[in-house]
Amino acid sequence: MLDVLVVGAGPAGCVAAAVLARAGARVRVVDRAVFPRDKLCGDTVNPGTMALLTRLRLASSIDTCGLAIEGMRVSGGNGVVVEGRYPPGVAGRALLRRDFDWMLLQDAMAAGAQFEPGVAVRSAIVEGGRDRAVRGVRIGRGCELRAKVTIAADGRRSTLAFGLGLASHPGRPRRWAIGAYMDVAGDESSRRFGEMHVRAGHYMGIAPVPGKLTNVCLVTPWRAGNAPLGDPRKAIVDALSSDRLLRDRFAGARMATAPVVLGPLAVDARDTSLDGLLLAGDAAGFIDPMTGDGLRFAIRGAELTAAAAVDALAHGWVGVHARLAQARRAEFAGKWRFNRAIRSLAASPAAVTLAAAGARLAPAVLRRAMLYAGDCAC
């Protein structure tokens, strides 16, 4: 029997696996995909996440593979643009998620974790009566992988979390993301900044990536039968061409990849106090963060989950879930509130107008908020 089975080889799964393997646990990571693999994301790693990676000694080649991001530009629908630069010596990075995830997976394997690609998990193995516990997973007809601790890090559509009734998509908000890489001629002046453009009813994240491409991600509410998601390419083109701040810049842009649609974004995680099982990353609750700090949630959350697994292996499961939940609240509660406030603002045309007017009158306030969004320790 394994000490720890990690389901999902994204950032959360790989960070948890690396930390646990370094602690001496026998760890195996499985994923339905074969790596490297593509992943829809904003493709930016903020300064706080960079500091976290340095402390954990992970993704050390990110400085040579990624583009330096010096700050954020935020705009409102009234034409106000506020630029917030990170402090001297502080920067984020932009790189493709396929490359970032592959770095972390290699780190996990170098630490001693085993990796099996192309393994589709069907369900959790749950044993016991009233005191039921997870003992591993089923991966095929009659095939099982058993472990003392199973970590579900299999994303916002987690087979384990949804299958056990521990996660669900809320009725609201119902947001979908549509992302594509674009070749934007003459856009060099914008290749040192991440961007967020908040409009009534939607927002757009824009980030440079290696290869002289630009990641464009449109996040919009959607209901069944709403036409734009039926033609995601048109949805992105229409959003850019109708935006007075972006239309000239993207007028001659070429879409270098087919658009990818992801949604619904939000995931609510319920009580996860099931012995033998821990949740990490998006499986533990996905809140479609607008502020670019989703990777910090995943990586720091995975570190906390790994500590809980070490605790369970050494002392049993009594109190493990409660201590993990308390640690997550202490670490993330402020940022959760901040992100909810930003999403509520984006959903209200009146609030967007008011915030844009406030940014014009007091841009320093927005700059401080941008530094907080970037998790800058300053």
**Residue ranges per structural domain of the chain:** 2-43+96-171+266-341, 175-263+348-373
- Equal fold, 2-43+96-171+266-341 vs 175-263+348-373: no
Taking CA 306 as the corner, what is the angle to CA 305 and CA 307, rounded to the nearest 5 degrees? 90
Q: Tell me what the mean pLDDT of segment 347-375 comes to.
A: 61
Higher pLDDT, 8 or 367: 8
CA gap 262, 162 in Å, rounded? 17
Buried-state track 12-37, b at ≥16 Cβ within 10 A, e below 16 = bbbbbbbbbbbbebbbbbbbbbebbe
- pLDDT reading at 225 higher than 70: no
* Predicted pLDDT of residue 378: 47
* Predicted pLDDT of residue 271: 65
**What tokens does 319 get?**
């109190």
The CATH number of 2-43+96-171+266-341, from 3.40.250.10, 1.20.1630.10, 3.50.50.60, 3.40.50.300, is: 3.50.50.60
- pLDDT reading at 223 higher than 60: no
The CATH number of 175-263+348-373, from 3.40.50.300, 3.30.70.2450, 3.40.220.10, 3.30.70.20, is: 3.30.70.2450
Taking CA 23 as the corner, what is the angle to CA 313 and CA 311, rounded to the nearest 5 degrees? 30
pLDDT band at 129 (very low <50, low <70, confident <90, very high): confident
pLDDT band at 86 (very low <50, low <70, confident <90, very high): confident
pLDDT band at 265 (very low <50, low <70, confident <90, very high): confident
Q: Tell me what the mean pLDDT of segment 106-122 comes to.
A: 97
Q: Dump pLDDT digits (tens) for 233-247.
A: 999 999 999 999 999
What's this model's pTM, rounded to 2 decimal places? 0.89
